[in-house]
Structure formats: C-alpha cells, structure tokens
Amino acid sequence: MAKYLIENDINPNRILVSAAGDAEPRIVTRNLEDRRQNRRVDVFTIDSYLAPPDPG
C-alpha cells in the first residue's frame, strides 16, 4: 500500500507503515475460511496532519 501511495505522488515522509499481524486479528478463530478476514490493510488519515500540496 505504501509503495502505491508513493508511486502516486504521496510524500514518503507522510506515510507510516505498521504491521500488526496476529497481534490484532479481526476474528479469532481456527476456521481457515473465517481467518481470511484477518488479511487486510487498514488505512487511516489523520485530519490534523493533512495539508494542501506544496505548490513548489
């Protein structure tokens, strides 16, 4: 996801990548079908950090 954002002109200094893996599952189960829901990417935008693009 970060690579995609950078390739689409998002400044890398504005991206923070964090992996939670098994530490933060959406569904705790042994069922393989249900565990697929834990494979995900969560993207958060924080309004206080959003700024208009630099015209320079």
Look at residue 3 in the predicted model and tell me its pLDDT.
92
The structural domain count of the chain equals 1
pLDDT digits (tens, 9 = 90+) for 13-50: 888 888 776 788 878 888 888 888 787 787 777 766 66
Q: Does the pLDDT of residue 7 top 90, yes or no?
A: yes
Rounded distance, CA 4 to CA 10, Å? 9
Q: Is residue 29 assigned to a domain?
A: yes
Q: Is residue 6 assigned to a domain?
A: yes
Q: For residues 37-46, b (16+ Cβ closer than 10 Å) or e, as one string?
A: eeeeeeeeee
Q: Is residue 55 assigned to a domain?
A: no
Using DSSP's 3-state secondary structure scheme, residue 12 falls into helix
| Domain span at 18 | 2-47
Q: Is residue 54 assigned to a domain?
A: no
Answer for the pair 2, 17: CB distance below 8 angstroms, yes or no: yes
Look at residue 8 in the predicted model and tell me its pLDDT.
93
Whole-model pTM: value is 0.52
Q: Is residue 56 assigned to a domain?
A: no
Query: Which is more confident, 6 or 27?
Result: 6
Using DSSP's 3-state secondary structure scheme, residue 3 falls into helix
